[in-house]
Structure 1
């Protein structure tokens, strides 16, 4: 039986020999999961070969092949840009998959566990970095760096605390949600381009459906994750002790609602990237499928809504920041107090994220700064910050 790829040029074999396996070593073995659909090992290897062949063909025409080999073999960032033409939507199609070219080749030759372009930042010397949106885009994997999670400074709290018998009530803005709010005037949904960091943060990368009755509530790591001593009253003249932040086992917990009724178990996210969709596959650590969830009180409207969830929403936790990306054919709506404070909006503002776009919905450093300030204002001020850690989402339509 003849092979689908009967001949592999020597240069392609050499480049495939530098492919990183999931364990981080170079070699022809192992796949680079995460670009588009996941396949078996054999199909994955063939796809990798096609991706390299496609790149080699382009670079031969421009005489840049030697520079690519030099960069990969020496693992040297002091090499020239290796560029290919940027497509209309910024993505590259190899076989049946589409992805961002710099992500594809960085995953191939440097980081097999790379999930998204949010995890990459171009080095200063790169003249054709993807985010510069030039006609040519650099795919030199050593012209990009992995975004590192910033270290949060410790919070200084009084050594002696008072335990309150009853927690103060939180300011409740969830029942006074204003009309759905789009991004500010003058910021239009991009036409499949992925801008660098446009004002209130859209970036497009993908594009399927959902509805108002189908809501999610996502809780990020709360102040209590830091230490009980972070919840202390104002205490002038007392010794202060630093409380350092440590990452919890799960960076967020997701609860699913239909109308006002909670449905199913809470999903705890341990992986940096996860998808919430409407399909009926079994859920796993990177996927929360809503299609299998049952509800005896589900009405016809909710049933119709569930048929349109489709690919839903993808959530990323990268470098201390959380992004929500709409994979649905219809917009998703997000209410994030942390995001709203960043842009000076009302805490209850509901942001519309169009299909194929995304928004930064939480930032650890911003929250840490608020926590450090609130510690000096007492227990109540710190406790009020727990509302900043709850984010609400709705498919297709917002609230109200």
Structure 2
């Protein structure tokens, strides 16, 4: 820092002195530019003294320190863009901060980022870090069943899942709703876009409160089984059609990306461009070119989010997410570019696990499927991608989901004009100016993509924490009551 401080004003020097963490030379220079940019803005509004007071006293009862909100909600500093409250919270409080999902505004903050006012508060002491909730242990009766083999899981792999576009206008009840990211999530006029869905089901969060132990369990020896956070929160496998390619990636960082580039993978990045496959065909090659920046996965506060960074949509099949909205477990959801979706919630899973223990071994074993999430790049699968004669066999009804409460803050909304939507927000497979993949050839449309193994490029996530928890519960429960026979 000594090499740059002689060229900085005294107020910037003092503020940089309170910076958290150590950075290399380039980061040091960027931090200095970020502080200079903020100082310049606050001088015009007379808030500089309040900023210094907040930073030096570390007091949450200081006033809001505001800067104008930009059109896209982000602040650009030296060719890098970020959300302003994240930039300055990372600078002065949490150097390991990865995403806005990790922050929650204090109740006293009048200009919190999620309020979407013309001014946004950047006082780092008006935000708090989202903590991972402690999951209560599951009470499991000790080995009460007859020894047998494991029951089969419900298999949706040979059925045609229904499809849904990005879920707008839906707000789950009773769950923490993170701050809404910048446009790319909400249209600039603040209205949510109207999105078409191919089914008509009531949306909303199911009743997930754990049931009391059934009378049959009241007199049993109950053992608490606790959740333990593993070193690697998920394992990711990459597939091309029905063939697995490359080694499994084990994610240890709370934020990581899966992209189509060729840099060597590290703990925060799984690069698919490096992987070779002698059986790769032209359709897979074309799809791989459009993966681009791919998808960013966040694991924060016991919740998993997927954010589409690619210029093409991603398609997600998450039984946990589908349960939240009352959809069929095999529903495939399309996430357009620049939007994100909560694809797993530990607390919801814990409540389901507590309920399932009361219903027996088989019910608990079925939850194994909920810990697996499938995600395809560029091309989706399901009823919309099936031959006409097969579409009648898709799960659920086909229709339009009635509009729910708005705005939807937990799930980001598609801004008008993005690929996949016309100017009115209606579905438009290939709008004017589309630079993404070309329409599928007729022979491919006729063949259809009914299952995920029909998509050129896809990944499968295994959530290690919930899976290990299930394993401990099943081990404690013993074996299923259904005997194994030659026809089971």
Superposition TM-score tier, normalisation by shorter sequence? 0.7 to 0.9
Q: Aligned partners of 2:182 and 2:350: how far apart in 1?
A: 35
Counterpart CA distance in 2 for 1:67 and 1:175 is 62
How big is the shift at 1:352?
1.0
Partner of 1:192: 183
Alignment match, 1:49: 32
Structure 1 unaligned regions, length at least 5: 22-29, 32-40, 196-200, 203-233
> 1:204-251, CA deviations, whole angstroms, 9 ceiling, x for partnerless residues?
xxxxxxxxxxxxxxxxxxxxxxxxxxxxxx755312111111112211
> Taking structure 1 as reference, are residues 177 and 73 closer, same or farther at Cα in structure 2, changes over 3 Å only?
farther
- Report what 2:173 is aligned to: none
SS at match of 1:294: coil
1:125 aligns with 2:125: no
Q: How many Å apart are 1:43 and its aligned residue? A: 1.2
Q: Which residue of 2 aligns with 1:63?
A: 46
Aligned to 2:439: none
| The one of 171, 175, 180 aligned to 2:158 | 175
The alpha-carbon deviation at position 141 of structure 1 amounts to 0.3
Task: Tell me how far apart the structure 2 counterparts of residues 163 and 97 of structure 1 sit (CA, whole Å).
Answer: 61
Residue equivalent to 1:348: 330
Where in structure 2 are the equivalents of 1:1-400 lying within 5 Å?
7-21=7-21, 30-31=22-23, 41-162=24-145, 164-184=147-167, 192-194=183-185, 235=217, 237-399=219-381, 400=449
Change (3 A) 1:56 1:191: closer
Distance 1:278 1:183, change over 3 A: closer
**4+ residue runs of structure 1 moved beyond 2 angstroms?**
3-7, 159-165, 177-180, 183-187, 189-195, 234-237
Say if 1:90 and 1:193, in contact at 8 Å, map to a contact too: no
Aligned partners of 2:308 and 2:337 also within 8 Å: yes
**Residue 299 of structure 1: CA displacement?**
0.6
Q: Is the 8 A contact 2:73 2:182 kept in 1?
A: no
How much has 1:351 moved relative to structure 2?
Answer: 0.9
Distance 2:58 2:367 in 1: 45
Distance 1:44 1:285 in 2: 20
The alignment partner of 2:64 has SS state of: coil
Deviation at 1:178, TM superposition (A): 2.6
Contact conserved, 1:264 with 1:293, CA < 8 A, in 2? yes
CA distance, structure 2, for counterparts of residue 114 and residue 181 of structure 1 = 32
> How far apart in 1 are the matches of 2:146 and 2:246?
34
Question: Greater relative contact order: 1 or 2 (C-alpha under 8 angstroms, separation 6 or more)?
Answer: 2
Change (3 A) 1:113 1:338: same
Corresponding position of 2:436: none
* Structure 2: distance between partners of 1:163 and 1:299: 50
Shift of 1:174: 2.9
TM-score by length of 1: 0.82
What's the TM-score once normalised by structure 2's chain length?
Answer: 0.68
Mean alpha-carbon deviation: is it higher for 296-305 or for 78-87?
296-305
Aligned counterparts of 2:324 and 2:242: Cα–Cα separation in 1: 28
Once the two structures are overlaid, the 10-residue window that deviates more, 53-62 or 161-170, is 161-170
Structure 2 unaligned residues grouped into runs of 5+: 171-179, 187-191, 194-215, 382-448, 450-488
Tell me which residue corresponds to 1:216. none
Separation (CA, whole Å) in 2 of partners of 1:164 and 1:119 = 45
* 2:397 corresponds to: none
- Deviation at residue 98 of structure 1 after TM alignment: 0.2
Aligned length: 344
SS state at 1:376 partner:
helix
State the 1:311 CA deviation. 0.7
Query: Please, what is the CA RMSD of the aligned residues?
Result: 2.1
SS in 2 for 1:242: strand
Q: Distance in 2 between matches of 1:251 and 1:163?
A: 33
Specify the structure having the higher radius of gyration (Cα): 2
CA distance in 2, matches of 1:163, 1:49: 67
